[in-house]
Chain A
Amino acid sequence: MASVLAPLLRDRLAAELRTLLGDRCSTSSSHREQHSHGESWHPPGEPDIVVFPTSTDEVSGIVAAAARHGAPIVPFGAGSSLEGHVNAMSGGVSIDTTRMNKVLRVSVAWRRS
């Protein structure tokens, strides 16, 4: 399935995200292919842009920019989905969370059994 983003909008969004994230925003074919599928048989879907945020504020900025441009957002962790969750079937922005790798809080009181 093709991206819902027109090329002009895609380029504007990519430029905005590069301003926000620098080289942690990629439109390279290898990054897009890597983020087009998990580990399942379902058809792949390439995102237009892959971003690697390191903070909640950056994720907020990414989501706000994507919404302004009408771009779908798809979360991407280890890419281990067996259900096609991470496949960007309408294109848009794949948000790779692997660099958000710090434990910020342990809420023992809220623990569920």
Chain B
Amino acid sequence: MSHAGDGNFHLVFVVTPEDADEMAQAQTINARLVHRALAMGGTCGREHGVGLGKIGYLQEEHGETLEVMRTIKRALDPQNLMNPGKMIAL
């Protein structure tokens, strides 16, 4: 599934959520997919954004720029109350 013409590639995994092995395999494929996109100059999130699932890939995607984002986040939200644990890992 994709709207690849505008640069968005989606992969839908048909898995049994209760099956830990299947979920682990899906996670492995997902990680490969993200790493491949990043290696090609792409992004892990695009139009669906970065929440719980992609937060771990932002360091790889943005490098030291992520620290700039953290600085902005801390300045605007010193108590880390605005949707903590999404997008920017403090």
Using a CB–CB cutoff of 8 Å, the interface residues on chain A facing chain B are 40-43, 66-67, 70-75, 81-85, 87, 89-90, 92
Q: Least Cβ distance of B54 to chain A in Å?
A: 6
Whether the pair A83, B79 counts as a contact (CB closer than 8 A) is no
Q: Check if B17 sits within 8 Å of A67, measured CB to CB.
A: no
Within 8 Å by CB of B52, from A66, A71, A83, A92, lies A83
Taking Cβ atoms with an 8 Å cutoff, the residues of B that contact A are: 17, 45, 48-54, 79, 81-86
Interchain nearest-CB distance for A28 vs B (Å)? 22
Is the pair B81, A75 in contact by a Cβ cutoff of 8 Å?
A: no
Given A41-B17, A83-B45, A73–B50 Cβ distance below 8 Å?
Answer: no
Given contacts A41-B17, A67-B79, A70-B79, contact A89 B49 (CB under 8 A): no
Interface SS majority for chain B: loop
Inter-chain CA distance A61–B67, complex, in Å, is 31
Q: Is the Cβ of A83 less than 8 Å from the Cβ of B84? A: no
A71 touches B53 (CB 8 A): no
**Are B52 and A90 in contact, CB atoms less than 8 angstroms apart?**
no
| A contact residues around B86 at 8 Å (CB) | 84-85
In the complex, given contacts A73-B81, A87-B51, A87-B52, what are 20 additional A-B residue pairs having Cβ atoms less than 8 angstroms apart?
Answer: A40-B52, A40-B53, A42-B52, A67-B79, A67-B81, A70-B81, A73-B82, A74-B83, A75-B83, A81-B49, A82-B48, A83-B45, A83-B52, A83-B54, A84-B51, A85-B51, A85-B83, A89-B84, A89-B85, A90-B84
**A85/B49 in contact, CB under 8 A:** yes
